């Protein structure tokens, strides 16, 4: 379990993020068009998991916009933006914001994602949805970077995440 904060108040997650060098847990999540996507679909690519509570918050939206601009320009990389938002919300957000360079995915059919990656919040007002984290998986399926953002209202460390990709 990791302890993070929401506006300074402690919140616990169900577990820790996967450690660097370990195999990334497999998953199957739902795309904006309701089709399913799994980790194996991105074999041979560097996968950035931009994990967050909801697109309907300013910090979450900012992280999607930032990764849409920066990480998606790295050759051989794909950015997966993962939240508990329904696929319809992901689609609306991406259309309104002109987001085209990331894959937007929902965990609504796959609560095990949050368990396996240790990002489901176990208590607090956002209990049951995902914390803010970035996990980068190399082309062989190993975790090479993991950041559990310590304060939910804080953006991830983009520079460190981008450095881990190159």
Looking at residue 58, what is its pLDDT? 67
Quote the CA–CA distance of 14 and 37 in Å, as a whole number. 24
Looking at residue 60, what is its pLDDT? 56
Q: In terms of C-beta density within 10 A (0-12 exposed, 13-18 middle, 19 or more buried), how is residue 127 classed?
A: exposed
- Among 60, 77, 94, 137, the active-site one is 60
Domain extents for the chain? Answer: 3-165
Q: Are 109 and 31 in contact (CB under 8 A)?
A: no
Looking at residue 72, what is its pLDDT? 67
Looking at residue 34, what is its pLDDT? 95
pTM as predicted = 0.91
Looking at residue 138, what is its pLDDT? 95
**Topology, domain 3-165:** Glutaredoxin (3.40.30)
Total residue count of the chain as it appears in this document: 166
Which residue is listed with tokens 């320009």? 73
The reply to whether 94 belongs to the active site is no
Looking at residue 102, what is its pLDDT? 79
Q: What is the mean pLDDT of each run of 10 residues along the chain (166 residues)?
A: 92 96 97 95 94 78 74 83 89 75 90 96 95 95 96 89 84
**Pairing status of strand 28-30 against strand 9-12:** unpaired
Q: Are 63 and 131 in contact (CB under 8 A)?
A: no
Q: Are 53 and 155 in contact (CB under 8 A)?
A: no
């Amino acid at each position: 379990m990791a302890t993070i904060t929401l506006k300074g108040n402690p919140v616990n997650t169900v577990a820790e993020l996967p450690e660097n060098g370990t195999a990334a847990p497999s998953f199957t999540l739902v795309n904006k068009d309701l089709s399913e996507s799994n980790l194996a679909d991105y074999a041979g690519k560097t996968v950035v998991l931009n994990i967050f509570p909801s697109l309907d918050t300013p910090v979450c939206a900012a992280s999607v916009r930032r990764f849409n601009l920066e990480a998606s320009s790295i050759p051989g990389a794909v950015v997966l933006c993962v939240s508990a938002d329904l696929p319809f919300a992901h689609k609306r957000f991406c259309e309104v914001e002109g987001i085209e360079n990331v894959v937007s995915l929902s965990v609504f059919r796959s609560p095990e994602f949050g368990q396996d990656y240790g990002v489901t919040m176990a208590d607090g007002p956002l209990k049951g949805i995902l914390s803010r984290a970035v996990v980068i998986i190399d082309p062989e399926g190993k975790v090479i970077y993991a950041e559990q953002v310590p304060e939910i209202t804080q953006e991830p460390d983009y520079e460190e995440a981008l450095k881990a990709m190159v």
